[in-house]
Chain A
Amino acid sequence: MPSSRESAAVDAVFRAEYSFASVMRIRPHLAIVALAMLLVISAIPSRAQLPADQMTTLTLPDPKPNWVYIMDLQFPVNMLQKIWIMDGETRKLLGTIFGGYECNFEISPDHREMYMIDTWYSRGWHGDRTDVVTIFDAHTLNAIGEIALPPKRLLIVPKRNTTSLTPDGRFLLIANMTPATSVSVVDLKARKFRGEIETPGCAQVTATGKRQFFSMCADGSMLTVQFDDSGKQTAKTQSKPLFDPNSDPMFDQPAVVGSKAFFISYHGKVLPVDFSGADAVAQPMWSLIDDKDIAQKWRPGGWQTVTFQPRTGILYALMHQGGEWTHKQFGTEVWAFNANTHARVQRIKLKTPGYSILVSNADKPILFDMSLLPSKLETYSAPDGKFLGAYDDIGSPFLLYGP
């Protein structure tokens, strides 16, 4: 126990009233103790003031194959929709992009830009209508430009296949409806709207070639359109009906990879279509459901109901048990099929019934299952179906996109 004089000496050292040397002369052992204490104390985080933060804005790196982009309608208002960008492996939210009314979203194939295609009224809920493409830098997420469109884009609850990019990223195609239908062609390199191509009796737009797209028609046929670099139509071919919408409608959000599309129907049929030529060529239909499944009332349903992974050749369908006209019922399982042999390779039971699914095109593929209620994104290893984790509360999500 130090004497009061010794304590006073230690205090004095701390108050720097005495130099170390002077203390060494008076009380050598005390000086050493004080020095030791000072050294120890200096190693302890002091209660000295923290330095000021340097505020910056973060930027995104290039996307990884397991990133996912989620379209949130912000229902019921629907007028300021948004995209959530998430790393599907870590389920960490990386950023957001905002849009207006009934948005469409596209990512450039070179991953340098992203596009929101949407509608705005000058006073929010009324006023003059403007339809635009807003260009975002994919790393900074800054809006870097705008391209005006004819104010007639198809206004519908956001779906895939209502805008599309050509594989080289040069042209953006936008489906219009007034209710007459057409496609607006935008040259992204020139940042200009080039013109409209009529698609009478058909709706939507999906690019299937360098300068080619298709629309689905009311009688089950496909309209294939080719155009040139000036955005003008060079060929238009309407196929014979490839399915009968009266007896078994195909969902209008097929899985499309390159020039091949997989459509699935309300009654569980798969229709693969080859769009590599000037006319759509259907391949033989096959069924997601066998007699036993039919007896148990299994059928596809939801919003984004089918997704395809090219590197494994596996097709995934969102399935539920229900009767006629339950095509929007949440899916309780995802069934995985070998698209070549048509064999079912996996039945994945979902923890939370989902509305949209997407499989990533990665070495370690992830199957994303998006639920509207509760608002949640679940991830599963694909195709085995091992649950990897979930992310809660993503607004009112409807669509999933991959990079």
Chain B
Amino acid sequence: MDQLVESISRRIAQRTSRRSFLARLGTFILGAAAIPLLPVDRVAHAQSAGSTDFKKSAHKNPNDDLTCDYWKYCAIDGFLCTCCGGDSHDCPPGATPSPTSWVGTCHNPGDNRDYIVSYRDCCGKGACGKCLCGNTEGEMPIYRAQLDSDLIWCFGAPTMVYHCSTAEIVGLK
């Protein structure tokens, strides 16, 4: 019996790092798209139905840009650049902002206004892999490419390798 427990524990330990990634992937998947790339022209709301709090925090905080609930991220889909050495509108060192982006609308509960937000991805480096968020609200299949969140939206960037996603305010609705 001792040997059985020991062998199971050892197997679990060997798989831990993968399991924790998969756990995050899991919370993301339940109600969200699986992979980089973001919707355009969505009328979205803060605290939208599909957002997931990957940090499993008890508090849903629309002012914390390290969580999927951050108000600007209302229709984001991908790894948050804030977790990868960038911030919500800046790419991490060594990654390039994609010249092409998605554009959507998010409600800011702070000033009660709707802002037009560009979900510009940072490209040119391997996938960051941290802070995966996703929202499938308004997400469409590939024949409506502008609304497909599985597409690699690095068109025009030095490479089509997706690193992380930002949310850049570009106007007021």
Direct interface between A and B, CB < 8 A: yes
**Residue among A76, A216, A252 facing the most chain B CB atoms (10 A cut-off):** A76
Decide if A76 touches B129 in the complex (CB within 8 Å): yes
Q: Which of A5-13, A62-70, A85-93, A324-332 contacts B (4 or more CB under 8 A)?
A: A324-332
Q: Which of A126, A328, A355, A373 contacts B159 (CB 8 A)?
A: A126
Contacts of B152 in A (CB 8 A): 102, 155-156
Proximity bits, B31-51, A CB within 8 Å = 1, else 0: 111110000000000000110
A203 with B143: in contact, given A328-B29, A373-B26 (CB under 8 Å)? yes
Proximity bits, B119-142, A CB within 8 Å = 1, else 0: 000001111110010001111111
What 10 new A-B contacts, CB under 8 Å, besides A125-B126, A326-B31? A121-B159, A203-B145, A216-B141, A216-B143, A218-B145, A326-B50, A328-B139, A372-B34, A373-B22, A398-B34
A361→B12 CA distance, assembly (Å): 37
Decide if B151 touches A79 in the complex (CB within 8 Å): no
Interface of A: prevailing SS: loop
Interface size of A as a range: 35 or more
B30 CB within 8 Å of chain A: yes
Contacts of B34 in A (CB 8 A): 75, 157, 303, 328, 372, 398
Give A123 Cβ to nearest chain B Cβ, in Å: 10
**Residue among B79, B124, B137, B160 facing the most chain A CB atoms (10 A cut-off):** B160
A375 with B143: in contact, given A126-B124, A159-B150 (CB under 8 Å)? no
A2 CB within 8 Å of chain B: no
Q: Which of A159, A245, A325 contacts B49 (CB 8 A)?
A: A325
Give B130 Cβ to nearest chain A Cβ, in Å: 9
Give A216 Cβ to nearest chain B Cβ, in Å: 4
Closest to B36 in A: A157
A277 CB within 8 Å of chain B: no
Contacts of B100 in A (CB 8 A): 179
**Residue among B141, B152, B158 facing the most chain A CB atoms (10 A cut-off):** B141
Decide if A396 touches B49 in the complex (CB within 8 Å): no
Decide if A177 touches B151 in the complex (CB within 8 Å): yes
A288 CB within 8 Å of chain B: no
Contacts of A216 in B (CB 8 A): 141-143
Contacts of B155 in A (CB 8 A): 178-179
Closest to A178 in B: B155
Contacts of A303 in B (CB 8 A): 34
Decide if A78 touches B143 in the complex (CB within 8 Å): no
Decide if A326 touches B136 in the complex (CB within 8 Å): yes
Q: Which of A79, A328, A372, A373 contacts B136 (CB 8 A)?
A: A328
Give A248 Cβ to nearest chain B Cβ, in Å: 11
A156 with B151: in contact, given A76-B127, A101-B161, A252-B141 (CB under 8 Å)? yes
Contact residues of B between 155 and 173, Cβ < 8 Å to A: 155, 158-161
Proximity bits, A141-171, B CB within 8 Å = 1, else 0: 0000000000000111101001000000000
Contacts of B126 in A (CB 8 A): 77, 79, 124-125
